[in-house]
Amino acid sequence: MENKIESYARSSVGSLVNHMRRLLFRVLSTGPIPNHIAFILDGNRRYAKKQNLGEGMGHRAGFVTLMSLMKYCYELGVKYVTVYAFSIDNFKRRPEEVQSLMDLMLEKIEGLLKEESIVNQYGVRVYFVGNLKLLNAPVRDAAEKVMKATANNNKSILLICVAYTSTDEITHAAQEAIDEKWGEIQESSKASIAQNGEISQEKHEGNRTIKVADIERHIYMGVAPDPDILVRTSGETRLSNFLLWQTSTCLLYSPKALWPEIGLRHLVWAVLNFQRVHPYLEKRRKQV
């Protein structure tokens, strides 16, 4: 009997909280809502130490937080969410830690394919962004399976950056852009020789130079627009080689809370700050 009352009370409070949250999001939506929010999930290990949890439990708690934050973002109307899950620099950590993170990632990636996962609930298309060749085969295969399985979803997009650093991303884009230019030059030279027996240098000069658009065409994150807000938790105020190219005019927000402690209030505060600077940034963007 008591259990029934308890569970009834719990579900009522739960649905009241949901209603309040939706009301809050409706109020926020009277102003501009960011289209793309990026998160650096920092502080999991410190959280585990603080709460005296076992090794790796901080990251599990972090995953639960990630799911709730994603839910809030999609309910609010944010279309793109990017998370910095694993950096190329993180391979420098102890091999046991790297292995346990890889195992956790594999478990959670496979979990995304299940019916009841957030991906199916909110119609999320998932992209894995980064130098995937650096991952071990099981994780890479699971990632590719999820990307294929969610390819038809279009309500929201989730970009998970694994084996990613921004400098690696830019280098890769530069390599491809240069390869492309080199291929174009060689082809047009061949065509010119075929036509008039000599290469006309001046005609091709303009097409030879790499431009911003060429880099942006080959960049891993090209599937999403630039982020509007970059949230880095645990109070560290640095980019740590994340989205350097894309965060030129992005609002940077660094709450002191560790990643597993992040909640709705931090998201709301970030959106309010975004709404404050948005008119100025829009004006600047239109000028350019």
Residue 103 and residue 61 in contact, taking contact as beta carbons nearer than 8 Å: no
- Burial class of residue 131 in the structure, from the number of CB atoms within 10 Å of its CB (0-12 exposed, 13-18 middle, 19+ buried): middle
Structural tokens at position 240: 């740590």
Does 147 sit near another protein (CB under 8 A)?
A: no
Does 200 sit near another protein (CB under 8 A)?
A: no
Q: How far apart are CA 41 and CA 69, in angstroms?
A: 11
Helix (H) or strand (E) holding 251: strand 251-253
Stretch that binds another protein, among 4-12, 92-100, 101-109, 189-197 (CB under 8 A): 92-100
In terms of CB distance, is 113 or 252 closer to another protein? 252
Structural tokens at position 122: 């909110």
Q: Does residue 76 sit in helix, strand or coil?
A: helix
Is position 179 annotated as part of the catalytic site? Answer: no
- Min dist CB 215 to another protein, Å, is 6
Give the residue ranges of DSSP H helices in the chain: 2-28, 44-50, 57-76, 95-112, 118-121, 137-149, 166-196, 201-208, 212-218, 264-287
Q: Which of 68, 90, 189, 275 binds another protein (CB under 8 A)?
A: 90
In terms of CB distance, is 154 or 186 closer to another protein? 186
In terms of CB distance, is 50 or 155 closer to another protein? 50
Beta partners for residue 37, in sequence order = 81, 229
Q: Does residue 221 sit in helix, strand or coil?
A: helix
- Burial class of residue 215 in the structure, from the number of CB atoms within 10 Å of its CB (0-12 exposed, 13-18 middle, 19+ buried): middle
* Contact characters 5-44, another protein, x per CB under 8 A: --------------------------------------x-
Stretch that binds another protein, among 12-20, 99-107, 159-167, 191-199 (CB under 8 A): 159-167
For residue 249, what are the CA distances in angstroms to 230, 268, 281? 10, 20, 8
Binding footprint of another protein, residue count (CB under 8 A): 51
Site residues (CB under 8 A) for another protein, limited to 167-186:
167-168, 170-171, 174-175, 177-179, 181-182, 185
Going by C-alpha positions, the residue among 235, 243, 244, 249 that lies closest to residue 277 is 249
In terms of CB distance, is 8 or 280 closer to another protein? 280
Sheet strands side by side (includes 80-87):
124-129, 156-164, 80-87, 36-40, 229-232, 251-253
In terms of CB distance, is 148 or 211 closer to another protein? 211
Site residues (CB under 8 A) for another protein, limited to 226-285:
236-241, 244-245, 247-253, 273, 277, 284
Does 51 sit near another protein (CB under 8 A)?
A: no
Stretch that binds another protein, among 118-126, 188-196, 207-215, 261-269 (CB under 8 A): 207-215
Q: Which of 165, 220, 255, 259 binds another protein (CB under 8 A)?
A: 165
Structural tokens at position 202: 């001046």
Residues known to be catalytic:
42
Which residues of this protein are in contact with another protein, per CB under 8 A?
Answer: 43, 45-46, 49, 87-90, 92-94, 165-168, 170-171, 174-175, 177-179, 181-182, 185, 208-212, 215, 236-241, 244-245, 247-253, 273, 277, 284, 287-288
